[in-house]
Amino acid sequence: MNNKITGAGIYFTLFRKLGLKQFAISFSSNFGAFWLFIEPASFWIPEHFKFGLSGYFGLVLISLAFAVVQNLPRISASCSLSSPNTEIEVKIGDIFLENEHLVIGFNDVFDTELGEIIRDSSVQGQFLKRVYRGKQDKLDADIETALQEHNSHRRHEPGKTRGKVWRYPIGTTITLGSYEKRYFLTAYGYMKNDLTVESNSDYVLTSLDQLWQEVRRKCHGTDVAIPIMGSDLARSGLSRMQLSKLIITSFVQESKRRFITRKLTLMIYPKDLESVDFYELNKFLKSICF
C-alpha cells in the first residue's frame, strides 16, 4: 500500500495502458467526421475551402487534439444499476482517504501483530497504524468485543505458536467504529500455523456474501469503499483483475436480490495499475450494470 505512483505518474500509466490502437481509432473517427462535413461544403463554396496541404495538416492536428481530449485518463469510472438505485464506482486512490465506511480484509483468527504476521504496508497494517494510531491493544479489544456473538462458532488452534489461536469460520464479519464511520472486518483467508495466509475464490465469495449482509444491517444505505481483497500474500490464486470482477459481480448479484447500499466504491491503489487494466475494468463495469 505504499503508493509508488502518484500525481502525474497515475495519468501517464493510464495513458500508456490505453494503447495506440484505441488512440488511432479515436483519431480516425475524428478525421473522418471532419472530412465528411468539409468535402460536401467544398463543392458548394469551393472558394472558402482552398486551403491546400497546410489545411490538410491542420485537419490532422485538430483530429489529434480531439483524440487526446477524448482519451484523457480518468481516475474513476462508475455506473448505476437500474434496480435498485445503486451506484458502483471503480476509483484509483488511497482507501483511507475516503469518507465512506471501509471494508478491511482479515484472516480467520483476526491477527493484528505487525511484522512477520501482518505486513505493515497491507490494508490490515495500515488500518492499525492510521485508524488506531498503532494502538494494537485497543484494536484487539474492539475486535474481541465484536467477535463475542460469533464465539459459539470458533475453535481453538493448539498448533499455532504465533499470533491469535481462536479460529472463526471463513466469512465471519464484524463491525467496528461508530455510526458516522464504520469499519467492516471480514475473514477471507486461512492463517496457517507457519504464518502464511491461504485463500481462494470460494473463500473470497463466502466472505463477500457475509460482508454484504453485515453492510446491509449496519451502514443504513450509506456509501462503502472496499479494496481488492485476496491479492498478494493472501495467495488466492486470482489476479487483481479477477478479484475486482469477482467483487463487483458479487455486489451486483446480491443487490439485485435486495438493496445493500446506495454506493460501493472499489479502490485500486496506484501501485496496482500495472496489474489492473483500468480501461478493461471500466468496460466490464458498464457491461454488468443493467
Q: How confident is the model at residue 21 (pLDDT cuts 50, 70, 90)?
A: low
Report yes or no: 98 and 131 within 8 Å, Cβ to Cβ.
no
Q: How confident is the model at residue 161 (pLDDT cuts 50, 70, 90)?
A: confident
The predicted-structure confidence for 223-238, as pLDDT tens digits, reads as follows 999 999 987 665 677 8
Report yes or no: 175 and 146 within 8 Å, Cβ to Cβ.
yes
- Specify the range with the lowest mean pLDDT, choosing from 21-30, 65-74, 94-103, 253-262: 65-74
Retrieve residue 132's grid coordinates.
488506531
∠ CA 69-70-74 to the nearest 5 degrees? Answer: 90
What CATH class does 76-107+169-288 carry?
A: alpha beta
- Taking the model in full, what pTM does it have? 0.80
Q: Residue 84: is the preceding peptide bond cis (ω within 30°)? A: yes
Q: How confident is the model at residue 142 (pLDDT cuts 50, 70, 90)?
A: very high
Q: Among residues 254, 251, 237, which one has the least CA distance to residue 284?
A: 251
State the burial class of residue 279 (Cβ atoms within 10 Å of its Cβ: 0-12, 13-18, 19+): middle
pLDDT at 65: 83
Q: How confident is the model at residue 19 (pLDDT cuts 50, 70, 90)?
A: low
Q: How confident is the model at residue 104 (pLDDT cuts 50, 70, 90)?
A: very high
Q: Tell me the C-alpha distance between 169 and 153, whole Å.
A: 7
Domain regions of the chain by residue span: 8-70, 76-107+169-288
Alpha helices in the chain, H assignment, sequence order: 8-18, 20-44, 52-70, 123-126, 136-147, 201-218, 240-257, 278-288
